[in-house]
Each structure stands twice: as C-alpha cells, then as structure tokens.
Amino acid sequence: MRASVTRRSVEQQADAIASRRNLLAYIRSAPQRLSIESYLCLTRILNQGGWRYDQQCWLKGDQRLSTLEAAAVELERQLGAERDQLLRQTVGTYAP
C-alpha cells in the first residue's frame, strides 16, 4: 500500500512540475494580452512566492520586474525546488 501511495504522490508531483513548465513556456512566449484568469493565477503565484506589487512592477529583495518577468523568475525558482524535492523523494523510495 505504501508503495502505491508513494508512486501516486510522485506522479502527482511530476504532473505539477509539467504543468508549471507549460505555464513557464507560455510566459516566455511573451503573450500580448493575459486573460483575467491567467493574470490572477500569476499574481497568486507571485504573492505566495513573497513578491509584492508596487507602482507598475513586482518587488522581491532587490528585484523590480514586470508581471511576466517576475512570474518567470518565480516559476523557475519553484520548478528547481520541486524537481529537487521529487528527486530526493524518488531516490528515497529505492533506499534500503
């Protein structure tokens, strides 16, 4: 039972990573217009990542970026962390 739960969890994490990669690819395509749903999704991601909006740009630390630039930076950071976590979890399932 534990192996099937772990396998399902790993598959769900892999799906989430693929979804974020697709979103990152869309952002990098520099869409001219965002739907309100897309914009709200990006602002949620940025807020959860510790970004704050101030006068036409997003701020985090010493970074001052547009919505699309900040979303790309944040998604890259999240993808790196999620891939690392998935790798550690996968390797852990094979450890004795």
Beta bridge partners of 58: 53, 65
- The model carries a pTM of 0.79
Cα–Cα distance, 68 to 89 (Å, whole number): 31
Contacting residues for 88 by C-beta, under 8 A, at least 6 apart: none
41: its two tokens: 């999704």
What Cα–Cα distance (Å) separates residue 35 from each residue in 18, 41, 74?
21, 10, 20
3-state secondary structure of 25: helix
CB 24 within 8 A of CB 31: no
Q: What is the pLDDT of residues 26-79, one digit of tens each?
A: 999 999 898 999 999 999 999 999 999 998 999 999 999 999 999 999 999 999
